[in-house]
Chains A and B, each alone.
Chain A
Amino acid sequence: METDELPEDVLPMTNAFKLLCEESAPKQNKKELEKQRQTAKKIKTEVEASKLNLKIEYKNLDFWTEHDVKHPLHHLQKAVDATSSRVSEFKWVAPKVTVQETLSTSNTNEKVQIFIEIPSELIADRDFLNLTYPTKRAHFLCAVAKILEKKFQKIEFTAGGINRDDPIFPDLIVDRVRVGIYCNELAKSKRFAPNIGNLRPATVFGEKIFKGAEIATPKFNQRMLWSLLELELIQELEKQIKPLPTARLALFLLRSAIENRHLGDTFTPVVLTVRVVRLIKNGQITEKQEILTVLKVIFKDFINWSTDEVEYLDIEEEQLDDELEEEYSQHFDVNLIWKHLNIAGNLTKNQMARMKKELSTCYPLLGQVYTFDPIFIEKSPLFAQYDSVARLHVNVSQLAPLLAEYGCDSVDNRDVISQFVRSLEGRIEKTMSERYEYLSIHEVTDSSATWKLTDYASQQREKIFLIGFRTTAGWKNPLTVGPSAQTEEAKEFRELWKESSELRKFADTRICECVVWSEKPSDKVPRAVLQFVLQKMFDLPATCLSWRSLTTNSTSAEADQQNEKKSQEAVFKAYNELSTVLRGLKGLPLMITNVHGISGYLRGTEPAYPSVFAATSSWKSGDMHVVPEPGKIPLFSPAVTVHVKLEFSGKWGNDVEAIRRLTSSLYVKIAENLRSVSKLTAVATVDQLFVIQSGIVFKIVVVNDRILTILEEDVQKLKDSGAARIESSLPGMRLAMWKKKFIAEPLLQMSLQSFSTSHKFFGPTVQLFKKWLGAKLLSGQLNEHIIELLVVAAISKKGCVEPQSTWSSFARLLDLIATHPWSARPLIVGFGVKSFSEEERSKLEEKFVKMRPVLPPMVVIHEEDHLGSKFTRENPQGIVLNRLVAVAKEALKLMEKHTIGDKSIDLETSLLTENLSPYDAIIHLEPAAVVRKKALLERRPPPENSKIRQKLPVVELDPVDELVYQLNNNFHQVAMFFYNKYGGHHIGVMFKPTEEEVPAKISRCSLHKSVSDSSLRLNRAEILEDVQIMGRGIVSDVQLKRE
């Protein structure tokens, strides 16, 4: 990413932004700081004054066991035995102790650190070789622990190192103060350049594998170097950053942004601080800059952080010679050098790519008040960050055959595993880099970094990782295309793929080496590739990797997806054909000028249950259409709504009813025309016209702007007459209704349609959301438009990298529902280019605060509804919204368990499982009445040249919908009804607790019975009996669960 790709500063610094930044700064807990200072002081005096009588061989690790402390390198006794030192005796010598405040360089809990220098008389001149220094260091640490043990309550070992994850160089935590050991005198820093070997693998893993091998140990060198330079570096950093409070604040904000995006494991506080201090030293950050400027400078610097060049903390400092720089570039992905110490040595290219992507998404939003939270405060779950995730389980015993490779530069199992993971990452890069933008490997093993003095350090024989991919369009590509045949590269390629590649000729006459994974693009391809890598290239068992996706049974899931996609394409094609026919119709009094399809089927957001195609019927009658037989439930056929507009005419008159009648006779004309000229099935009714095109039913509605004018005139007349409260008057309501139905909804649908074309996974996500809502028996509680808007909001949330798959967008959606403060903030949905500016947002939010008491529980603001209540006025009620939030949280937990748990579950099935236990009563439905379910027999369109004209089937008649509507209508005062629109066989009934027992009043007696003179009780049996009476033919049984 280059600088010129970033949009230049447009927003000036505002007070509001400054305030926000300052408000979110950590409140310096002075008490805690003071306490830690006191502790540190006490430790210092204790250690300096102590006179421990101790003299042992440094190889004697068991000595400490007798004193109730376990030497942290105890499990490496063999390796320690293989070391040698001129000073083989270890004794206690009072050391130099430094207390250093680490407000910027450590995590927020550790405000003060103590550094103890090992006295030089304990160290010999070649102790930097092998594990001599780590052993002595650990001895010293044990001694310090022993000294402090009596005076302090809580002392624990903790992993040290630059990432705080290195148990070979442990520290102590004493009452929340970190105590580290360093040794400045050990050797010169250039002794630890990456091309030098300081650890003979044979000392660690024995002579068998590594007889006499001398290998460069860049990683081990860096670990040693950190222990040497830690104090010096931290002192330098703290000194540089202390006088710049704005830089400190910016650093804090940056850190929380990084941590919220789950990048904190590798972009540690030290790395971030070094990068910021580098900017201070360069003069790019100065004292007088505003916070926004500083943030922008920092973000820009991170986005432009070069992975190719070797960079230095001090630019003026003497640089390494080119040869050494080359060594660094070879061994590390990222190089940020200070005195031979590569501070960014643990970063990988993929992590850098991800960090850059995240920060460059945030960069243009810096300075805005309303995107501050998503950038710096909000945190979404790890699994929602990736489009595809897999769980990798590695046991070190599986790596035994590969030990020759990963044993170099490793001290223990942990190192072997992490080297393997690095190498795996590299191999994935080589084999499938065209399929993803970046990948990340996160350790999910719950390995606590601290352990008790009396415990052995953990051996960590196995680890669990989460591999997440940000996929590209080529993710499912069935081919891995290699270089042209007969070249040197081709040979390499064949070798890499273990001779499984073959030659393929392409359309442009190229002949290339290719690995063929499948016939068609499929989710199985990347799985197969990764399995190939693990099994064939690393000899690992297939079971160590398991993909965590929405479905495990990918064959049937893929078939379903294909089916949905085909349905959507069929609808879209039929719609295009129909609109051509309609526009070209001749012989009508008025020409059709505008055709506008508005339906979820057109963009694949409505599940094709049972099918998008019309049901065929065998009903014999002369009519063009089928009507339902009394008492029988017809098959469900959906209809796709199409709005048409006619050319302008001044002859419509001034009466809405007259226009309606005229339009109905126009429907008849159009129907006649379609039947005779286009040979289509067309049935006119009073308010719409049904047409079957390519087997799909379309509902055509003429939208006449004249009606709008008339309604507006009516309202104007009312206003002129001095009437107040226009909104609740009849003309006012009619106007609002018309505008909603024929202006707001179509415009919104248009935006959704274009959104769905630019986001391929939008349709499947909405479908999954709808089915999930159904499974939670919440169908009908959210307006269809709101459902889609929520998905849009989750996908296009500002300050987050847009998801690319159903998995990630659904996870983000659940997260949005579960974490949005619905009662305190509106949800503002912007469609990319058309989204709201900062100023507009501020006005909208202000209005929201003023209007909150009269607004519904859920407020969703978008381009067509600036108040945010148009589609949420009636539903969901507060109680239902709460339930929605709760079930979303539950689903998130399920997803998390699924991603990192031992066994992979069929997530979609578990998400879509109904739970009937919370309901007071259950209404069981007749199986035949459930018409909107997955069809057993696939419906097909009639053959194109068929001579038989299809009859119009019964359209959009869902008896369950009707029943629920009537139940709510009849019993809304005392009960709520929950159902699953997509094939649910039950309706859940909840009685309102407030109606359980009411005072004996005529106004509250409905559906109650008398129990005493003063009170009435809800007559549940009466309600359920009524349900049975009303639901004859639909309801099979009613079951009261709780009295």
Chain B
Amino acid sequence: MLFSKIRVLRSHGKQYIPDLDAVELTSEFRGRPVLTDTRDHADLERAAALCPTGAIATAPFTLDLGRCIFCGECARRAPANIRFTNDYRIGSPTREGLIMRPGQERVEFDPAAVRPEIRSCFGKALQLRQVSAGGDASVEMELGATGNVNFDFGRFGVGFTASPRHADGVVVSGPVTANMAEALDICYEAVAEPKIVVACGTDACSGGLLAGSRALDRSFFERRKVDLWLPGAPTHPMIFIDGIRTLLGQKKRE
């Protein structure tokens, strides 16, 4: 019995990532896209027409990460215009900040757009209540993974808590279904002020693939101020960790 545990421990070894800020994801990962404008928009028009979520606009040329599900199909149709990098630093304090333009080298994170009380109150510890409102379980599993043995986000005092009464904010995943809208609102109300809202995943940011479905009720996002927008289908744990740490002022994006 004891030997079997020692065997597991020996194979397990050390798993945690020592420096989360130095993480580089595999080159296959599709993160921040780089856009290049060209005189001929024929390929781009085809890519925009194929885009499953209508994230690409051609005049002027932009790509809305809040709608993008990172399927990568546009980069194959219009390789001269769109290229995905493995940069996971794609969170933004504003919804407009997710709209990428040609020549842009990073997703801007303007510290001035962050409410000052967020850094003063939560800079050293942040407990969050996660609410899935139509999430397809992939975003939820990635959020769960942020606290696992590899990423161990808890080392920075950030974690998930069961009761909204113990929480400093709400992380919403999913496009917000009509059947879940009231429960989400009740949960938000139960969190004490000051509190933050994080929209996690492309579904939460814009409805994603489900945008326009009659089964949704996205009025929550009209009534509440979102402090952090995190795209991704699903959001990789590093997108979440980087976004939260940048929001809290623990790291800068440059």
Q: Do A and B bind each other?
A: no
Interface positions of B (Cβ within 8 A of A): none
Interface positions of A (Cβ within 8 A of B): none
